[in-house]
Structure 1
Amino acid sequence: MITIVIVSCYLIALLWAVVKNINYWEIYKHGYRPDEWYMYFTNTINSLIMVGCWSGVYFGIKNFQMLQKEKQNALKASTMAHQAHIKMLRYQLNPHFLFNTLNAISTLILLKENDTAEAMVSRLSNFLRYSLDNDPIKRVPLGQEIKALRLYLEIEKVRFDDRLEVLWDIDEGCESALVPSMILQPIIENSIKHAISKMENGGRISITARTFGNDLLMDVADNGPGADIKDGTLSRENGVGLANIKERLQSLYHRNFAFSIEHNQPSGVRVRIRIPYEVKDV
């Protein structure tokens, strides 16, 4: 390939040298023509250097454009893969919640508690609409997320009645903070499954949010029987809920976040999340 390029450049340089010499003789020597044929090819080296320089510039620009295009394609592919990965993590909700809710609605209908069943269907519809309509790539205000969590907890309260107590402690100003959609729901679902449902007299879930400097701090804690925690991971966790949260945070915030699972006092499990405090531009 290099040989072909060099030969092509040399032939072009020869042709260019001939044209330059003829033009020079025609204009400045009034139609002079040399007696020897090789005189037509004088200054070929200078022409070859010029052709080589222009060829180098041309191929350099084309190579740069090709590399930039490949870089853009690779970046686009990486972005699409990144977004697809986040969406996959976001939509891996525990189907047990839906099954349990539908079973509870069926039970309410059998018990002729139609008003409660209708309210539960409405809440379930609104909750599922929220969970599916919000793009997992984008962030939503915490206040909007809390409204969806209230819908979810109202559905669960129909199942657990007085056995489920929920405490909210959301500092003023936090509701406008942007958070990944459905980031707290798997934590609360995990608490209900492994804490509230295991306690005969029910239990309590505390949800707090506050700002600290340039960060937003969110906690979800229960007073259940607790769990074995090894290296910040629940040994009982065999699903995708909590693992997905950490992966989503990693994808969205890279290293600028914290996610920890620890023992609650006096009993239970506490999950802490720290992310940058950001608000939507007006």
Structure 2
Amino acid sequence: MNAIAIPKPLARPHKLRFWPLQIAGWLGYLALYFTAWMGESEPGAWRQFLPVLLANTAFGFVNTSLLRLAYQRIWSLPLPRLGARAAALLLAATLVQGTFYATIKTLTCTGHDCMVHSMLGYLWYYISTLYVLLSWSGLYFGIKLARQSQEQKEAALRATSMAHEAQLKMLRYQLNPHFLFNTLNAISTLVLDHKSDTANRMVTSLSSFLRYSLDSDPVQRVTLAQEIEALQLYLGIEQLRFGDRLQVRIDVDVAARCALVPSLILQPIIENSIKHAVAKREEGGRIEIEARRDGDALDLRLRDDGPGCPDFDAPTNHTGVGLANTRERLRVIYAARQQFVITNREPHGADVHIRLPFETAVRA
């Protein structure tokens, strides 16, 4: 059986992914600055500069890790305040990082390449540090915003799927009380008329049909063969009520039997036909059910020889409740991929035509 897929809540992957990215980013910083310095310095000078670069890289790793915690604390602020706080934190982290780099380089590294010859040299420390931390912050906020957007989309999808599931269940289950009332009323009449054998058969048939109805999920789909089998349980109950007044012909093509359809999608249509084409006529009526595969589509037709109706979907016409719910279930499940057309037959009767995508269960 197939069901509308409801995505499961995602684990919190950002806690697992931040540290690999953080480590990879600062290792890349270390490699980039080391190779650049190697290309500009005298041979062997890297022995003095490498400890400075290692210390600055380790300090940057800790500094940005703390900066991340600070960003997390202000993340829920309105955008203007968030931008102002983030800029202040970035400048503070830049001052700390730049000061550390200038100090450690002055104290541990000797030689012409390590000396700062003017204020512009110190300014370069801070500007280059600001560039690095600004790039880090841009990546952090960009990744965080992208993940938040994805989580919002997935949450919206889950909410929509759950709403559709609830809607389908409401549409399906609100049809059952009317049928149940009629059947129990018929059983009561049979008992009063001392037709206990017929009443017993009707109770047994009702029990089987209700068991199938309760076990089947409106969100799930069943094969057309299973749907016809459930429909025959329902028709068996109605034939006990009406006897020879109800005539049924079912013609299902072999190729169509494996097609998937929403569970109990045909029952309210048949119930509507029985109510108007059989129950209200002394001579009873005839109901025909046909199913064919037509290329990539499943073609279903349900006909009766009753009086028909000028307006099947009128809101004040009780006839339209089951048909309108069936139409809505098909719309929720298949959207524009389905057709649901009701017409009057000549000289009298109703014709319900349903076309659905021809889909079968995927076997593992």
| TM-score after normalising by structure 1 | 0.91
**What letter corresponds to residue 19 of structure 1 in structure 2?**
F
More helix per residue: 2
For 1:142-166, what per-residue CA distance to the aligned partner results, in whole angstroms no more than 9, with x for missing partners? 1111111111111111211111111
Structure 1 segment 121-140 matched on structure 2, within 5 A: 121-140=203-222
Structure 1 segment 236-255 matched on structure 2, within 5 A: 237-238=317-318, 239-255=320-336
| Alignment partner of 1:88 is 2:143 | no
Structure 1 segment 1-282 matched on structure 2, within 5 A: 1=81, 2-29=83-110, 43-229=125-311, 233=313, 237-238=317-318, 239-282=320-363
CA contact (8 A) 1:86 1:248 kept: yes
**What letter corresponds to residue 46 of structure 1 in structure 2?**
S
CA contact (8 A) 1:233 1:261 kept: no
In structure 2, how many angstroms separate the alpha carbons of the residues matched to 1:103 and 1:63? 61
Which structure has the larger Rg?
2
For 1:155-207, what per-residue CA distance to the aligned partner results, in whole angstroms no more than 9, with x for missing partners? 11121111111111111122211110111111111011111122221110111
In structure 2, how many angstroms separate the alpha carbons of the residues matched to 1:116 and 1:85? 37
Q: Which moved more, 1:33-42 or 1:203-212?
A: 33-42
CA contact (8 A) 1:249 1:257 kept: yes
In structure 1, how many angstroms separate the alpha carbons of the residues matched to 2:206 and 2:176? 14
CA contact (8 A) 1:94 1:241 kept: no
**What letter corresponds to residue 98 of structure 2 in structure 1?**
A
CA contact (8 A) 2:101 2:125 kept: no
In structure 2, how many angstroms separate the alpha carbons of the residues matched to 1:104 and 1:96? 13
Per-residue deviation at 1:128?
Answer: 1.0
In structure 1, how many angstroms separate the alpha carbons of the residues matched to 2:257 and 2:187? 31
More strand per residue: 1
Consecutive aligned runs of 4 or more in structure 1 exceeding 3 Å deviation: 32-42, 232-237
CA contact (8 A) 2:209 2:234 kept: yes
| TM-score after normalising by structure 2 | 0.72
CA contact (8 A) 1:105 1:121 kept: yes
Per-residue deviation at 1:233?
Answer: 3.7
Per-residue deviation at 1:11?
Answer: 1.9
- Cα gap change, 1:236 to 1:165, in 2 (>3 Å): farther
**What letter corresponds to residue 53 of structure 1 in structure 2?**
S
The answer for unaligned runs of 5 or more in structure 2 is 1-80
Q: Count the aligned residue pairs.
A: 279
In structure 2, how many angstroms separate the alpha carbons of the residues matched to 1:15 and 1:235? 72
**What letter corresponds to residue 71 of structure 1 in structure 2?**
K
**What letter corresponds to residue 106 of structure 1 in structure 2?**
S
The answer for unaligned runs of 5 or more in structure 1 is none
In structure 2, how many angstroms separate the alpha carbons of the residues matched to 1:109 and 1:227? 34
Q: Which moved more, 1:107-116 or 1:193-202?
A: 107-116
In structure 2, how many angstroms separate the alpha carbons of the residues matched to 1:33 and 1:73? 56
